[in-house]
Amino acid sequence: RKEVEQDPGPFNVPEGATVAFNCTYSNSASQSFFWYRQDCRKEPKLLMSVYSSGNEDGRFTAQLNRASQYISLLIRDSKLSDSATYLCVVNTYLSGGTASKLTFGTGTRLQVTL
């Protein structure tokens, strides 16, 4: 089983639609969670962190469910400029607690159309 799993998509949605992505992780000891955005052939960039209480940043809402070990990203009122690949990222502290490791999912591709 992969450490971090995402549906690769693509999700094709019309402009203005609401779309949601899920991501599951296998290590129950994972501590922190993030969504990164990656445009085609470009470097990934942090979109938002995911907190246990859920958090919102404009049209984007992230949720964490520790019991079921998944995180989600909801995008409301999709824009053409939201077209990208969204990477689920999980941070797990290594033994000894002196370092941690980021594990990236393979990404979910979103295509927003007119």
Partner 1 sequence: EAQVTQNPRYLITVTGKKLTVTCSQNMNHEYMSWYRQDPGLGLRQIYYSMNVEVTDKGDVPEGYKVSRKEKRNFPLILESPSPNQTSLYFCASTKTQTADPFTGEQFFGPGTRLTVL
The residues that touch partner 1, with contacts defined as CB under 8 A, are 4, 8, 31-32, 34, 41-46, 49, 87, 89, 91, 93, 97-102, 104-107
Q: Name the residue nearer to partner 1 (CB basis): 78 or 90.
A: 90
Q: Name the residue nearer to partner 1 (CB basis): 6 or 78.
A: 6
Q: Phi and psi dihedrals of 80, rounded to 5?
A: -55, -35
Shortest CB 49 distance to partner 1, Å = 5
Neighbours of 12 (CB within 10 A): 13
Q: Which residues of 40-53 are buried (b: 16+ CB within 10 A; e: fewer)?
A: eeeebeebbebeee
Shortest CB 34 distance to partner 1, Å = 4
Q: Name the residue nearer to partner 1 (CB basis): 98 or 114.
A: 98
What token pair was written down for 94? Answer: 């290594």
